[in-house]
Structure 1
């Protein structure tokens, strides 16, 4: 995949083989800086403050709890993309 193909990643936390925290850390350590800095939004049923902190500590830019509230998702996406532009 070339840089700039995607604007952001919606990352599930509970996946088989590699969880979303590990996947985010792999992305953050890519040699291609543009790919490594892609915004990542956690989407998870883990909705406690410690879960949110863990997502940010892993390098994610935002955290959305399931079930997904479309308006909260819209706000999170716009916030992340606006920060990326600045």
Structure 2
């Protein structure tokens, strides 16, 4: 995924777990966050809730998960995520989703 995003000219930072993702989001004004739902320690749902507590809706958060059912999508949206991509992610769907949210997002900084 990182290689695909970088090949498209996007700058990518990665987190090894939800706690690190939260800390990075609080330090860096990202244009968009792709959040893996199932991360060790603090999962992506909890990390998203905490990001929303601190930053509000300032940054779009898109879930990436192997869970593809409608109820899985609803759980992600209820946690404060803006959208949901199920794995394996088709590159065109990924880029369409990123484009849609990046066009709506204010410039970071």
Same fold, judged at TM 0.5 (above): yes
Structure 1: gaps spanning 5 or more residues? none
Instruction: Name 2:32's counterpart in structure 1.
Output: 8
Give the structure-2-normalised TM-score: 0.67
CA-based RMSD of the aligned residues comes to: 1.5
Structure 2: gaps spanning 5 or more residues? 1-26
Cα contact 2:31–2:105 (8 A) shared by 1: no
Give the structure-1-normalised TM-score: 0.84
Rounded Cα–Cα distance in structure 2 between residues aligned with 1:53 and 1:79: 19
Residue 105 of structure 2 corresponds to residue 67 of structure 1: no
Displacement of 1:83: 2.4
Q: 1:38 aligns with which of 59, 68, 74?
A: 59
Instruction: Name 1:18's counterpart in structure 2.
Output: 42
Rounded Cα–Cα distance in structure 1 between residues aligned with 2:42 and 2:64: 15
Can you list the C-alpha shifts for 1:32-68, whole angstroms capped at 9, x where unaligned? Answer: 55xx521101000011000001111111011000001
Q: Determine helix, strand or coil for the equivalent of 1:14.
A: coil
Q: Kindly report structure 1 stretches of 4+ aligned residues shifted beyond 6 Å.
A: none
Residue 106 of structure 2 corresponds to residue 82 of structure 1: no
Cα contact 2:64–2:84 (8 A) shared by 1: yes
